[in-house]
Amino acid sequence: MRQAPKAPSRSSAGHALRNLFIVGCVLLWLVPVYLLLVNAMTPPTSYTGEPDWSPQGFALFDNLEVAWDQAGIGDSFLNSMLYATVCGLAAVVVAAMAAFAVVVLPIPKPSLWFWVIYSGTLFPLQIFLAPLFGMYADANLYDTRLGLMLVYAAWAVPFAFFLIRNQMTTMPPEVTEAAMLDGASFRRIFWRIHVPLMSSSLGAAFIFQFTAVWNDLLFGITLSRSPEVQPVMAALTTLNNAYSSSGPPVILAGALIVSLPTLLVFLVFRGLFLRGIAATAR
């Protein structure tokens, strides 16, 4: 006798639903990207006022040139590259030292120090804006690169500390004890042993902080106003106001310029990023 076909198992149905959910998430991300690319290459004179789903011409390079040179995105782009790179590196170094102190050094109440440092990620950024504005105005740090770099570096430390500290707690204490028996100082243990072993988590922390500083808007529009100091996200809002009459194509070309660095950083260092996330999640 012929056997009746088996009903689909729950596992196969769950697998199909998971794949459908993933495809939906991918489409939710790809559709705005597609609209950004199509409308960024549209000539401003051909823009009808509604989003175009198909190319109406090709003026991408002209729109990029207007956004980069005439609208001043280029100067702010270089400012953000400086802020994101320098402040990201500084935050990772300070966070690694703080994690080493909390996990390895014999300090009293390490859990208390952990929460003191990590609490910097628990408060909304808006509560810092008014005090920082007044303090920066009194200290002549308002609308200066140094002022923005100080606040970006300090803001990036707590989350980088959280990531690095998570991996450092998984390192066996016998490594530190053996180095101390050989006469190594804590400074030597940190730079020669812990930093090389934590390279993946340090890299992941830097990618996180580079992206966070690059995408910041609140501090940029609150603590700066001149094009020579403003980060690129603040300059993008200025571009939106200045070129709103010429249509979105120039503005979208500026948004395309702004989105490239973080995308390239992730694509180039995705292996290091994934290893760092896996290491900190243990």
Q: Looking at residue 172, which CATH number applies to its domain?
A: 1.10.3720.10
Comparison of pLDDT for 105 and 67, the residue scoring more: 105
DSSP codes joined into one string, 235-268: HHHHHHHHTSTT-HHHHHHHHHHHHHHHHHHHHH
Q: Pick from 61, 81, 98: which residue ends a domain? A: 61
Burial of 41 (0-12, 13-18, 19+ CB in 10 A): buried
DSSP character string of 164-227 = HHHHHTTS-HHHHHHHHHTT--HHHHIIIIIHHHTHHHHHHHHHHHHHHHHT--HHHHHH--ST
Residues making up the chain, counted from first to last: 282
Would you tell me how many other CB atoms lie within 10 Å of the CB of residue 72?
19
Q: Cα dihedral sign for 204, 210, 215, 221?
A: positive
Mean pLDDT of 31-38: 82
Each residue of 236-268: pLDDT tens digit? 877 766 655 556 777 788 888 888 888 888 887
Residue 254 lies in a domain: yes
By three-state DSSP, how is residue 166 classified? helix
Residue bearing the bigger pLDDT, 273 or 190: 190
- Residue-range definition of the domain harbouring residue 34: 12-61
Does 4 fall in a domain? no
Q: How confident is the model at residue 10 (pLDDT cuts 50, 70, 90)?
A: low
| Boundary of a domain, candidates 26, 41, 61 | 61
Residue 1 counted as domain residue: no
**Residue 41: DSSP 8-state:** T
Distance CA 208, CA 271 (A): 14
Among 100-104, 142-146, 183-187, 206-210, the minimum mean pLDDT is found in 183-187
Concatenated DSSP letters for 110-143? HHHHHHHHHGGGTS-THHHHHHHHHHHHHTT-TT
More confident position, 5 or 66: 66
| pLDDT at 29 (0 to 100) | 81
On whether residue 6 sits in a domain, the answer given is: no
Number of domain units in the chain: 2
What are phi and psi for residue 98, nearest 5 degrees?
-65, -40
Q: Is residue 251 part of a domain?
A: yes
Identify whether residues 258 and 119 lie together within a single domain: yes
pLDDT score at 9:
54
Q: Could you tell me if residue 5 is inside a domain?
A: no
Q: Which residues, 6 or more positions from 109, have their beta carbon under 8 angstroms from its beta carbon?
A: none
Residue 242 within a domain: yes
247 compared with 16, residue with greater pLDDT: 16
pLDDT score recorded for residue 121: 80
**Which tokens hold the place of 101?**
């102190």
Q: Region 192-219: what's the mean pLDDT? A: 88
* Predicted pLDDT at 87: 93
**What Å distances lie between residue 183 and 177, 189, 199, 274, CA to CA?**
10, 10, 24, 35
Of 36-45, 90-99, 107-116, 228-237, highest mean pLDDT: 90-99
- DSSP code, position 48: -
Please compute the mean of the pLDDT values over residues 29-54 and round it to a whole number.
Answer: 78
Residues 136 and 251 sit within 8 Å (Cβ to Cβ): no
**pLDDT number for residue 264:** 86
Average model confidence (pLDDT) across the chain: 82
Indicate the SS3 state at residue 178: helix
What tens digit of pLDDT does each residue of 103-140 get? Answer: 888 888 888 988 988 888 888 888 888 888 889 988 89
> Based on the domain organization, do 179 and 46 belong to the same domain?
no
On whether the CB atoms of residues 139 and 132 are closer than 8 A, the answer is no
